[in-house]
Amino acid sequence: GNSVTQMEGPVTLSEEAFLTINCTYTATGYPSLFWYVQYPGEGLQLLLKATKADDKGSNKGFEATYRKETTSFHLEKGSVQVSDSAVYFCALGSNSGGYQKVTFGTGTKLQVIP
C-alpha cells in the first residue's frame, strides 16, 4: 500500500537558517504530493503541491520538488522565520485499489528561535 515517511522531529533552527524536512514515499502509479502546515491550535492548511515528476511546488518561500527517481518530496526554505514554527505534514494522493486515497506522514515539528 501507499506510505509516507518523514524525518523525526522536532527540528530546532535559528531565525534565517536554511530548512530541509525530508519526505519519501511509496506508491503505485503516479501520485500527487503535498505539504501541509499546522499552526498551534489550528487545522492543517495546504502549503504546496506537485502533481507530476519534476514539478516544483512553492508557496510563502517554501519549495519542494517531486523526484520520482528517488521517491522524495523534501521541503526547503532558504531563511526561516519565527512565524514558520509549526508542524509540517507530507502527504500523497493516488488511486489505490480503485479508491482515491490521501496518505499523511506523521508530521515534523519545526521550532524557530530568534
Partner 1 sequence: NAGVTQTPKFRVLKTGQSMTLLCAQDMNHEYMYWYRQDPGMGLRLIHYSVGEGTTAKGEVPDGYNVSRLKKQNFLLGLESAAPSQTSVYFCASRTTYYEQYFGPGTRLTVT
Residue 3: other Cβ atoms inside 10 A: 11
Options 11, 13, 44, 55; binder of partner 1; rule CB under 8 A: 44
> Is 3 one of the binding residues for partner 1 (CB under 8 A)?
no
- Least separation in angstroms between residue 17's CB and partner 1 is 25
Which of 29, 70, 100, 114 lies at the binding interface for partner 1 (CB under 8 A)? 100
Strands 75-77 and 44-50: unpaired
**Residue 34 in the binding site for partner 1 (CB under 8 A):** yes
Query: In whole angstroms, how close is the CB of 12 to partner 1 at the nearest point?
Result: 18
Contact 105, 87 (CB under 8 A): no
Q: 33 pairs with which residues across the strands?
A: 50, 92
Q: Going by C-beta distance under 8 Å and a sequence separation of 6 or more, which residues neighbour residue 98?
A: none
Which residues contribute to the site for partner 1 (CB under 8 A)?
32, 34, 36, 41-46, 49, 51, 89, 91, 93-94, 100, 102, 104-107
